[in-house]
Amino acid sequence: MTLPAQNLLAEEASPYLQQHSDNPVHWRGWSPAALAEARERGRPILLSIGYAACHWCHVMAHESFENDAVAAVMNRLFVNIKVDREERPDIDQIYMAALHAMGEQGGWPLTMFLTPDGKPFWGGTYFPREARYGRPGFIQVMEAVDKAWREKQESLGQSADGLTSHVEARLAGSHGKAVLDRDTLGDLAGRIDGMIDRDLGGLRGAPKFPNAPFMQSLWLSWLRDRAASHRDAVLLSLEKMLAGGIYDHVGGGLSRYSTDAEWLVPHFEKMLYDNAQLLRMCNWAFAATGNDLFRIRIEDTVAWLLREMLVDGGGFAASLDADSDGEEGLFYTWNRAEVEAVLGEDSASFFEYFDLVAPHGWEGKPIIRQTADQQKQSIVDHALLVPLKQKLLAARERRVRPGRDGKALTDWNGLMIAALAEAGRALQRPDWIEAAARAFAHIVEASHDGRLPHSMLGARKLFPALSSDYAAMTNAAVALFEATGETAYVDRARHFIGQLDHWHQDADQTGYYLTASDSADVPIRIRGDVDEAIPSATAQIIEALVRLASVTGGLDLQEKAWTTAEHAMGRAAQQAYGQAGIVNACALALEPLKLVLIDHPERPSLVPVANRNPDPRRVDIVVPVGTEANRPALPGGVVPPTEKPGAWLCTGQACLPVVTDAGELERLLRRG
Quick: pLDDT tens for 377-418.
999 999 999 999 999 999 999 999 999 999 999 999 999 999
pLDDT bucket at 3, cuts 50 / 70 / 90: confident
Beta bridge partners of 620: 595
pLDDT in tens, 67-95: 999 999 999 999 999 999 999 999 999 99
pLDDT for the residue 562: 97
Peptide bond into 89 cis (omega under 30): no
CA proximity to 405, closest of 108, 82, 86: 86
- Give per-residue burial for 446-456: e unless 16+ CB within 10 Å, then b: bbeeebbbbbb
CATH 3.40.30.10 domain locations along the chain: 9-172
Residue spans in the chain of domains classed CATH 1.50.10.20: 309-318+405-590
**Which pLDDT does position 631 carry in this prediction?**
85
Half-sphere exposure at residue 388, Cβ-oriented, CA atoms within 13 angstroms = 22
Between CA 268 and CA 557 the distance in angstroms is 42
What's the first-to-final CA gap in the chain, in angstroms?
63
Instruction: For 25-60, give one letter per residue: b (16+ CB within 10 A) or e.
Output: bbbbbbeeebbebbeeeebbbbbbbbbbbbbebbbb
Cα–Cα distance measured from residue 448 to residue 314, given in angstroms and rounded to the nearest whole number:
19
Residue 529: which of 512, 551, 546 has the closest Cα? 512
The CA distance from 335 to 31, in Å, is 47
Name the band, by pLDDT with cuts 50, 70 and 90, for residue 1.
low
Q: Compute the distance between CA of residue 623 and CA of residue 611 in angstroms, rounded to an integer.
A: 14
Strands 79-84 and 27-29: parallel
- Find out whether the peptide bond into 464 is cis, omega within 30 degrees of 0: yes
Please check whether residue 89 is in contact with residue 19, taking contact to mean a CB–CB distance below 8 angstroms. no
Which pLDDT does position 530 carry in this prediction?
94
Kindly report whether the peptide bond that precedes residue 207 is cis, defined as omega within 30 degrees of 0.
yes
pLDDT tens track for 288-340: 999 999 999 999 999 999 999 999 999 999 999 998 988 999 999 999 999 99
Predicted model pTM: 0.96
pLDDT at position 174 is 79
Q: Count each helix (H run) and each strand (E run) in the chain, helices first.
A: 25, 21
Q: Is the pLDDT of residue 665 over 80?
A: yes
Domain 9-172 has CATH 3.40.30.10: yes
Question: Would you call 478 exposed, middle or buried from its count of C-beta atoms within 10 A (0-12, 13-18, 19+)?
Answer: buried
pLDDT digits (tens, 9 = 90+) for 428-472: 999 999 999 999 999 999 999 999 999 999 999 999 999 999 999
Q: How many CA atoms within 13 Å lie on the side-chain side of 590? A: 18
Q: Is 575 strand, coil or helix?
A: coil
Beta bridge partners of 113: 46, 122
Specify whether the CB–CB gap between 294 and 238 falls below 8 A.
yes
Q: Tell me the C-alpha distance between 321 and 52, whole Å.
A: 7
Distance, in Å, from the CA atom of 409 to the CA atom of 340, rounded to the nearest integer, reads 40
pLDDT band at 672 (very low <50, low <70, confident <90, very high): low
| Alpha carbon distance 337, 199 (integer Å) | 32
Partners of 455 in the β-ladder: 409, 462
Q: Which CATH number is associated with domain 309-318+405-590?
A: 1.50.10.20
More confident residue, 229 or 132: 229
